[in-house]
Structure formats: C-alpha cells, structure tokens
Structure 1
Amino acid sequence: MSSGAPRFPDAALEWLVGERTDRHVLTLGPGAGLPRKLARRGQHVWCIVDDDHDLNPRPDLPELQYVVARPESLPFEPCQFDVVLAHQILHKLAPGLVLGEFARVLKPGGWVGASYLVRDDSVPWVRRLVAVMRTVDPNAMSADVGASAIQTLISSKYFPRHEQRDFRIWVPVTRQELIAMAASQPRVAALPELGRDRLLTAVGAIYDGASAGSELRLPYQLSCYRAYVDHDELTTPIVLSDDALIIPL
C-alpha cells in the first residue's frame, strides 16, 4: 500500500520483551523480522512456524531457532521462556487452548508480549477516506482487528495483571499509492467502471485536500500489552465435591 511498510519501533520491541538482552523468547506471528531483530540483540529466540517450508536457518544468528508446531500445543517443557511474543496473531488462535499453553511454558514472572498495529482513524483526512470507502463496503478499513483477542488475554485467569503502551507510527504515502490501496479493495474492484472511477476520484481529492502539495503520512498506532503469568491457576489442586462421581482408571 505504501512505499514503506510500517516498521516496528525499536522502543516498542524493547518494551515488549524488557531491557535485558539475555532472555529466552518464544515468538509467534507473521514474518521473520521481529525474531531476527531480537536475535541480533542477543536474545535467545525460538520462532514457531506452520510447516517446514517456513524454516529458514540463519548461520549468522545461532540464537534464532525455528520450531514447527501449533501455538495451541507447544512442544516445550514447562517454565522455559521469559517472554512469549505474539504480534498480530492472537485473534487467529483458540484462546481456550493457547492461553493455558502460554502460561505453562512461561517462567515465573514471565509475560505474554502481545501487539497489534492498526491504522489511526483520529486524523481527519483518514476519517474522510474511511467514510468514502464505506459507501461501497460498510466494513471497509475496519481498525478493530485483535481487540476481542486482547480482551480475552488480559481478562484470563492465567494473566491477572497487565500493562499497556501505545506507539504512533507515520508511514509516507503518495497519491498514487493511496488510490492503488483503494482500488485493491475487493468491493471497489467489483464496481462498474464508472462507479469505480468516481470513487477513486474522490480518494484522490481527499489526498489533494489534505496534502497541500506535499506527501501525506498515513498514521498507525501500535498497541502493546504485557500480560504477566500467574502459575497458581496451573498448580491449584482440584477439590471434588462430596457428590462427585469418581471413575477409577
């Protein structure tokens, strides 16, 4: 969409995993950029991938290891990691399974570092763009991806305490790139030619009115959370009631 995709700020990554550079970090999420950046900082990183086609060993980064697994069934002993880093992926996982797995593999005092990058619609010209796009698709440019997954994490019995910090990111976007972004939306592409041309003309007019002859910057917000594990929920014995049915095996 833009000539420069949003870059994950170093300050945000440091906040998510902490200032120490010798932590054991388990990473989940799209792309290899964050695991590699962590490994270059000296962190010991295990990166979960879907299948062996995603394996891409880096001889120059011995601290980075790839593991084929599902996040809901992690192939690790308990209490192995200081941080589980989950960027832009929690909403794709089964919370009833994965949160217990995160808690199991985290060391006491460890945490889940979860993050989502969303467009910031508080800027007036972006709000106008969203309004134009929604004349074609009421769900266009929705910015709430991951919200329910984050809420499930921070309300989980395994993670009773959390912190949040937001980071603003600005990405330069040209007039042509903004129009191309709008044109690439499925509902826009399916419009008759005349309707599509009208909508893209409106998008160009929004850019012209906001840019005043200079390049615009598309605003994003990176919302970061640290949810701290509580192992009491994993170790508390189950107390059966007097009328419970016990089936010996």
Structure 2
Amino acid sequence: MEQDARVRLASSFGAAAPAYAEHRPDYAPEAVRWALAPAPGLRVLDLGAGTGKLTGTLVALGAEVNAVEPDPAMLAELRRAWPAVRALPGSAEAIPLPDASVDAVLAGNAMHWFDMAVAGPEIARVLVPGGILAGLWNVVDDRVDWIAGLERVSGSAAIGARDTFSSWRGATAGLHLPRTGVPARFGLPEQAEFPHGQRRTADSLVATLATRAGVLVMPGQQRRALLDRIRAFLASTPETADEFTLPLLTGVLRVRQL
C-alpha cells in the first residue's frame, strides 16, 4: 500500500470514534494471555489503542497499562471508558515513554498501520531486554457458510485479507518487519488464534462494518450502496434474522525482542 493511502486509511477512524467504541469487539482473553505469556512482567503498552478495546482486557488481566493513541477523538473515547488508565497522545513512530519502561507492547488491530522502519526501533527502545511485541486481530470465521457469503457481498473494503480466518496469518506474518531492508529487531514470529464471539443483530453488524477504514473513506453514495447490500444479505440469511453470535477468532502475532 502506498504511504499516502495508508495514512488516509489510518486517519479515518476519528470521524467514527463513538461508533467504533460502541460496535467494535473486544479481544479474547485467552489470546491476550498467550500474547503476554513470555513477557518478563506485566507493564504493558497498548500501542495504537484506539477507543480502548484491548485496554479493557489488559486491565482485567491485571496489567499495568499505558495506552498510546494518535487520534484525539479515539483517545477521548478511551479516556471516557478507562479513566484510571494512563492514556497518552502519541504514535508507534514517536512513543512518549522512557527507554526500557515496558515488558510488552501489544497492538489491537493496529500494527498494520505502523511504519516499522521507524516504529520498530521505537518499540525496541521502550521494551526491556527480551520484551514482547504482539499484534492482535479479530477475524471472522469464514469456515462458516454465511460468513463466507457475507465476505463475498461485502468486498475487501469491509472484510479484507487480515479480517478472515483463512487469510489472516499470511497477511500479518511479516508485519513486525520494516518495509525496507533495515535489519530485523525481533525474533521469529509465532502465530495462534483463539475462539471469540460477539452478540450482534443485523443492524449492529452493519454498523460494525461501517467502522472499517476502507468503508469510512468511501464516497457517501458508494458507502451507502455497500451497506445496503450487506443489510439486504443479512435480511435474507436465516442465521442473522434475530440476535446472533458473530463467529470470530482473535489472531495473535507474537515476537520477542532480540
């Protein structure tokens, strides 16, 4: 993805911050435990923290959390949801923390936006020796027939390569590496996924998909047409006629600092 397009997509969420906070899922606790399992301690940086979807799970697990988020509207939602958490403006490329101050850096649905040529050294700087970097993604289980149908109707703007069980590993395996030839600062990646789910209605699932970056940047008429197609598909699908559990998995990419 070209830099200008990546920046445009990454900066699209602030306009939908309240909807993001309301509709995006949290992360499977077992996935977060696995991400943290080799970390030297529980001082954790939630990087690109958004509205605090991962922050809440980290707090529940007893971590000492610093949350860093570049978008003011998203950061405001995070502070509203988790007022006791230290939440700071900043980015993966400019982390407002001291050297060797955290045991783990976790990023929920965010690592794909990082410029790792710059963010890699910054993450390594704030980690203690042997610290953990982990990216987490909530992905839909496209082994379920109606989810596969939803993927076809939605297109890549709403359900992209990182968003499905069948493709998330390939799409994220190298995201800890810079896009240029800078030497790697992290060891070999490990990946795992953990069952998850979210209670939804057809309307709330449409609202969830409307918070995807590819949908947020669409021209208004095109966005409305896409969401209308998704809504019509869900109305015609027996599994989504009433309240239902959206079949998700939380996928984790974990690496240790060299």
Same-fold status (TM-score > 0.5): yes
1:187 to 222, 238, 255: 222
2:45 to 26, 29, 44: 26
Distance in 1 (CA, whole Å) between partners of 2:81 and 2:223 is 41
**Contact 1:46-1:67 within 8 A present in 2 as well:** yes
1:164 paired residue number: 191
Determine which structure has the larger helix proportion and give its number: 2
Distance in 2 (CA, whole Å) between partners of 1:92 and 1:84 is 15
Q: Larger radius of gyration, structure 1 or 2?
A: 1
Moved over 4 A (4+): 19-22, 57-60, 145-150, 175-186, 199-202
2:102 to 81, 96, 108: 81
Post-superposition offset of 1:219: 1.4
Matching of residue 123 in structure 1 with residue 138 in structure 2: no
Cα 1:166–1:179 shift into 2, 3 Å:
closer
Q: Supply the RMSD in Å over aligned alpha carbons.
A: 3.8
1:217 paired residue number: 245
2:32 to 13, 16, 20: 13
Distance in 2 (CA, whole Å) between partners of 1:217 and 1:4 is 13
Distance in 2 (CA, whole Å) between partners of 1:75 and 1:84 is 13
Q: Which runs of 5+ in 2 are unaligned?
A: 1-18, 216-220
Post-superposition offset of 1:228: 0.4
2:254 paired residue number: 226
Post-superposition offset of 1:75: 3.4
Where in structure 2 are the equivalents of 1:68-107 lying within 5 Å?
68-107=89-128
Matching of residue 44 in structure 1 with residue 64 in structure 2: yes
2:160 paired residue number: 142
**Contact 1:179-1:204 within 8 A present in 2 as well:** no
Cα 1:201–1:190 shift into 2, 3 Å:
closer
Distance in 2 (CA, whole Å) between partners of 1:182 and 1:219 is 14
Task: Give CA-to-partner distance per residue, 1:193-216, whole Å, 9 cap, x none.
Answer: xxx68x7545422x12x46x8754
1:235 paired residue number: none
Residue-pair matches, total: 216
**Contact 2:201-2:244 within 8 A present in 1 as well:** yes
Distance in 1 (CA, whole Å) between partners of 2:41 and 2:143 is 38
Q: Which runs of 5+ in 1 are unaligned?
A: 231-249
**Contact 1:30-1:88 within 8 A present in 2 as well:** no
SS in 2 for 1:144: helix
SS in 2 for 1:227: strand
Distance in 2 (CA, whole Å) between partners of 1:74 and 1:87 is 16
Distance in 2 (CA, whole Å) between partners of 1:60 and 1:182 is 27
Question: In structure 2, what residue type is equivalent to 1:151?
Answer: G
SS in 2 for 1:168: strand
SS in 2 for 1:161: coil
TM-score with structure 1 setting the length? 0.68
SS in 1 for 2:35: helix
Question: In structure 2, what residue type is equivalent to 1:153?
Answer: H
Cα 1:42–1:125 shift into 2, 3 Å:
closer
SS in 2 for 1:141: coil
Identity among equivalent positions (%) equals 23
Post-superposition offset of 1:19: 8.0
Distance in 1 (CA, whole Å) between partners of 2:188 and 2:200 is 38
